[in-house]
Structure 1
């Protein structure tokens, strides 16, 4: 499930996200992302050591960013299936159990409707993002 029927990637990363991923991989070479849907960390993309997160049977792999797998729950995928996720970085603290926590910057999911304009309610428009 890594691209749409038209070949568009379902998940992308900004340059800032790629830099933070590289930083995290220096300490934890084998990581994965899971798009959170929990109440405590909102809808942040969570970054975990691969050995410490169990991907569920119903989780959907959206693709990879910088060679790192990116998953979302099946129920959340149903709500977001017409949306391209763009992983970015902003100042602040990461999710409590996410590897970006304690780095004074955190991952943030922006979105864009496939074939449409950027859709980022309450957030500035997502920048143009290279496909990685």
Structure 2
């Protein structure tokens, strides 16, 4: 098993999470196995998205300047496909069509990935 982090944040994603935390309180991510925007990481107030046996907690992301970690959940079916990758949460311009908290900011979270061990 690798000691590499399974999920990490770009500096831009961390900065956006700090702003969202100020407005919405503690946060969480969920990455589903859906298509289109359904496969983008969605950011919610912590606990607003109900997780269960069909989900895997991949990481507790430390965000500089935020007291509590941000849990990153993924649907188990999506995890089975991506289990060999390290996920990198980034931010790009443009609005997604989901309910993620960053939508009003005119940006959206995006996953970039890298094979573990590379």
TM-score (norm 2): 0.88
Q: Which moved more, 1:44-53 or 1:74-83?
A: 44-53
The partner residue of 1:64 within 51, 60, 65 is: 60
Q: How many Å separate the matches in 2 of 1:54 and 1:39?
A: 20
Q: Are 1:53 and 2:49 matched, yes or no? A: yes
Q: Are 1:82 and 2:84 matched, yes or no? A: yes
Q: Which runs of 4+ in 1 moved over 4 A?
A: none
Q: Gapped runs of 5+ residues in structure 2? A: 64-68
Q: How many Å separate the matches in 1 of 2:117 and 2:60?
A: 21
Looking at secondary structure, tell me which structure has more helix per residue. Answer: 2
Please tell me whether the aligned partners of residues 46 and 95 of structure 1 are also in contact (alpha carbons under 8 angstroms): no
Give the RMSD, CA atoms, in angstroms: 1.3
Tell me which residue corresponds to 1:96.
Answer: 98
Deviation at 1:53, TM superposition (A): 0.9
Provide, for residues 22-44 of structure 1, a one-character-per-residue CA deviation record: whole Å limited to 9, x for no partner. 01101111210011322351421
Q: Which moved more, 1:73-82 or 1:56-65?
A: 56-65
Please tell me whether the aligned partners of residues 94 and 102 of structure 1 are also in contact (alpha carbons under 8 angstroms): no
Q: Gapped runs of 5+ residues in structure 1? A: 117-132
Tell me which residue corresponds to 1:7.
Answer: 3
Q: How many Å separate the matches in 1 of 2:73 and 2:107?
A: 21
Looking at secondary structure, tell me which structure has more strand per residue. Answer: 2
